[in-house]
Amino acid sequence: MVEIDIIKETCCSCKIPFWITEGHHKQLLNSKDTFYCPNGHGQNYQGESEYQKRLEREKELEETKKKIEELTRKRDPKGRYIKKKSRGKQ
């Protein structure tokens, strides 16, 4: 069985909802080609889509997490990192 992810889109003119495959969606995002709603209104992705914005936010969140981890790592007086010891109890 092949699973295909689909993305819901809404026409910017008539607001009709329609669905396209994720692969097609990505292609449209990259190419910014015109595509059409079932009623024939042409549209394309200009600038950042919600999908791209979400990816950006997720990336930023990952980087922030790494920074926090880096800053909260314990160091000894010489500035070296202290390895975490596994503790049986807190």
Return residues touching Zn ion (CB under 5 A): 11, 13-14, 37, 39, 41
Q: What whole-number distance in Å separates Cα of residue 13 and Cα of residue 64?
A: 38
6 vs 14 by CB, closer to Zn ion: 14
Q: In the complex, what is the shortest distance from the CB of residue 24 to Zn ion, in angstroms, rounded to a whole number?
A: 17
Q: In the complex, what is the shortest distance from the CB of residue 19 to Zn ion, in angstroms, rounded to a whole number?
A: 14
C-alpha torsion sign, points 57, 58, 59, 65: positive
Q: In the complex, what is the shortest distance from the CB of residue 41 to Zn ion, in angstroms, rounded to a whole number?
A: 3
23 vs 38 by CB, closer to Zn ion: 38
14 vs 68 by CB, closer to Zn ion: 14
Q: In the complex, what is the shortest distance from the CB of residue 43 to Zn ion, in angstroms, rounded to a whole number?
A: 8
Task: Tell me how far the alpha carbon of residue 68 is from its chain's centroid.
Answer: 21
27 vs 39 by CB, closer to Zn ion: 39
Structure tokens at 66: 């790494």
